[in-house]
């Protein structure tokens, strides 16, 4: 062990530096996991790994993008509501399928500085082809 320590010392390292290596930063190529926004009724969940069934549909009326989420105003039958999901490419006029979730009557988005009514935080949205 002393010979290894001596070689490390000559190279400018110490045995302690190998015993407690510095933390490695996350790879910049790895995407950050989408988590529910603050105030989400379920809390901070990983929405990026969702496999929930798409039990609801709606026609897209408006789209608002944030860094990690897409807010989609839809017409679902006779009701209009907002569906919030991890970022997805969607545009006005598209039809989406989404995983059902409880409707939150009011929600204030701090990042958008905007109040929403009848909003659903879903784990999954797919644009119909």
Whether the pLDDT of residue 21 is over 70: the answer is no
Alpha-carbon gap, residue 59 to 99, rounded angstroms = 15
* Buried b or exposed e, range 52-68, using 16+ CB within 10 angstroms: eeeebebebeebeeeeb
Domains, the chain, with CATH or none: 47-127 (2.40.50.140)
Give, rounded to a whole angstrom, the gap between the first and last alpha carbons of the chain: 65
Beta-strand relationship, 103-109 and 114-121: antiparallel
Q: Name which residue leads in pLDDT, 61 or 6.
A: 61
Whether the pLDDT of residue 26 is over 90: the answer is no
Do residues 1 and 9 touch, judged by C-beta distance below 8 A?
Answer: no
Q: Name which residue leads in pLDDT, 36 or 106.
A: 106
Beta-strand relationship, 69-76 and 79-86: antiparallel
- Residue 59: partners with Cβ closer than 8 Å, 6 or more residues away: 74, 75, 93, 94, 95
Q: What percent of the chain has pLDDT over 90?
A: 47
């Amino acid at each position: 062990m002393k010979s290894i320590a001596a070689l490390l010392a000559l190279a400018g390292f110490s045995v302690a530096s190998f015993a407690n290596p510095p933390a490695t930063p996350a790879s910049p190529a790895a995407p950050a996991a989408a988590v529910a926004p603050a105030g989400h009724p379920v809390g901070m969940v990983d929405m990026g790994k969702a496999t929930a069934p798409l039990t609801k549909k709606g026609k897209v009326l408006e789209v608002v993008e944030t860094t990690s989420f897409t807010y989609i105003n839809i017409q679902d039958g006779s009701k209009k509501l907002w569906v919030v999901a991890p970022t997805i490419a969607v545009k006005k006029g598209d039809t989406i399928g989404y995983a059902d979730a409880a409707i939150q009557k009011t929600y204030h988005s701090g990042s958008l500085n905007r109040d929403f009514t009848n909003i659903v935080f879903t784990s999954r949205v797919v644009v119909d082809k």
